[in-house]
């Protein structure tokens, strides 16, 4: 199969890194010349990656086309490109819905997919909307796929993906606090990363337990986890989290 990426930025870069770490059998990957630096780097690193002359040539050469430009650019350029009727179009674009993607591309077979940067190490959730067996089989090799048929519901996942930076910030505050208490920076960062990674891995390992059960299981009455949770709740830490999610949701 030959695939093409319209827009060679951060997410294209991560997806291509993931593809070459996976067992996916891809004959050729065409990428658009923009961004020049990233496209050059990718074509140098992977023999099967070729930089197209322009966006139309990329489409003409590919069986599957991945849309990976920002919404503003997508709204501007998609309608002037000629998609083939049998093109499989997979859009990563956050705010262009299926209706408009159909209008712009005239393609019959369109999916919206939400990959996240760790797709580059074949990790993380990948939302696919609507359900599509071939798309799922492709992304199953790159992370944990979750199929959603209702486009409106799938929008909620864009909102939750805004919690990557806040999550790392929580880790940073934890690590910095250790440093303030005299722990050296390397030990503080190593400890924090291992702690948070173990928590996430354990929650996957104990997949029969709900998150509510994990919250309860990880505290002993009168213990330090119970105290931390109680004080954070009292200070409305989690109410604020909900408010922030609602506010991000308004963007989609
Ligand atoms: N990053 C993520 O984690 C993530 C996750 C899921 C979905 N997405 C979605 O994926 C899309 C791309 O995100 P991104 O983070 O990869 O953005 P990005 O790094 O800014 O990449 C966008 C790319 O599009 C290129 N471009 C601009 N104008 C173009 C044109 N006319 N023709 C072809 N390419 C053009 C840009 O090149 P220049 O640098 O030369 O302008 C840039 O390389 C967005 O819609 C975003 O919502 C991103």
51: Cβ below 6 Å to ligand 1?
Answer: no
Q: Domain extents for the chain?
A: 2-149, 162-249
Ligand 1 atom 44, closest CA: 70
Q: What is the pTM of this model?
A: 0.93
Q: What string of H, E and C letters represents the secondary structure of the chain?
A: CEEEEECCCHHHHHHHHHHHHCCCCCCEEEECCCCHHHHHHHHHHCCCEEECCCHHHHHHHCCEEEECCCHHHHHHHHHHCCCCCCCEEEECCCCCCHHHHHHHHCCCEEEEEECCHHHHHCCCEEEEECCCHHHHHHHHCCCEEEECCCHHHHHHHHHHHHHHHHHHHHHHHHHHHHHHCCCCHHHHHHHHHHHHHHHHHHHHHCCCCCHHHHHHHCCCCCCHHHHHHHHHHHCCHHHHHHHHHHHHHCCC
| Residue of 8, 34, 58 to mutate, ligand 1, most atoms within 8 A of C-beta | 34
Q: What pLDDT is recorded for position 252?
A: 83
- Homologous superfamily (CATH) of 2-149 is NAD(P)-binding Rossmann-like Domain (3.40.50.720)
Ligand 1 atom 47, closest CA: 94
Measure 219 CA to ligand 1 centroid, in angstroms: 43
54: Cβ below 6 Å to ligand 1?
Answer: no
Ligand 1 atom 17, closest CA: 9
Measure 49 CA to ligand 1 centroid, in angstroms: 18
143: Cβ below 6 Å to ligand 1?
Answer: no
95: Cβ below 6 Å to ligand 1?
Answer: no
pLDDT in tens, 116-157: 999 999 999 999 999 999 999 999 999 999 999 999 998 899
Q: What pLDDT is recorded for position 242?
A: 98
Ligand 1 atom 26, closest CA: 7
Q: What pLDDT is recorded for position 28?
A: 98
Report the pLDDT averaged over residues 161-174: 97
229: Cβ below 6 Å to ligand 1?
Answer: no
pLDDT in tens, 55-85: 999 999 999 999 999 999 999 999 999 999 8
Q: What pLDDT is recorded for position 126?
A: 98
CA distance 18 to 232: 38
Q: What pLDDT is recorded for position 79?
A: 96
Residue that the structure tokens 């992370």 belong to: 143
pLDDT in tens, 178-235: 999 999 999 999 999 999 999 999 999 999 999 999 999 999 999 999 999 999 999 9
Give the nearest ligand 1 atom to 164 CA.
3
CATH class of 162-249: mainly alpha
CA angle, residues 129, 131, 137, in degrees to nearest 5: 105
Q: What pLDDT is recorded for position 251?
A: 87
């Amino acid at each position: 199969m030959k695939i093409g990426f319209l827009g060679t930025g951060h997410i294209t870069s991560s997806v291509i890194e993931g593809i070459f770490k996976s067992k996916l059998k891809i004959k050729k990957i065409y990428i658009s010349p923009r961004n020049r630096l990233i496209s050059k780097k990718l074509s140098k690193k992977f023999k099967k990656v070729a930089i197209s002359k322009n966006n139309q040539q990329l489409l003409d050469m590919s069986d599957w086309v991945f849309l990976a430009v920002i919404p503003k650019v997508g709204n501007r350029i998609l309608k002037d490109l000629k998609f083939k009727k049998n093109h499989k179009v997979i859009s990563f674009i956050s705010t262009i819905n299926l209706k408009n993607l159909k209008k712009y591309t005239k393609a019959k077979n369109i999916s919206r997919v939400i990959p996240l940067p760790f797709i580059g190490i074949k990790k993380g959730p990948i939302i696919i909307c609507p359900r599509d067996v071939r798309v799922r089989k492709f992304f199953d090799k790159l992370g944990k796929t979750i199929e959603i048929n209702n486009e409106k519901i799938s929008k909620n996942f864009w909102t939750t993906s805004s919690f990557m930076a806040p999550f790392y910030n929580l880790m940073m505050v934890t690590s910095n606090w250790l440093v303030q208490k005299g722990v050296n920076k390397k030990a503080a960062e190593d400890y924090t990363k291992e702690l948070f990674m173990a928590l996430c891995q354990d929650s996957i390992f104990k997949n029969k337990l709900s998150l509510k059960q994990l919250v309860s299981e990880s505290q002993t009455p009168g213990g330090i986890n119970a105290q931390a949770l109680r004080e954070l709740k009292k200070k409305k830490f989690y109410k604020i989290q909900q408010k922030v999610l609602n506010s991000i949701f308004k963007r989609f």
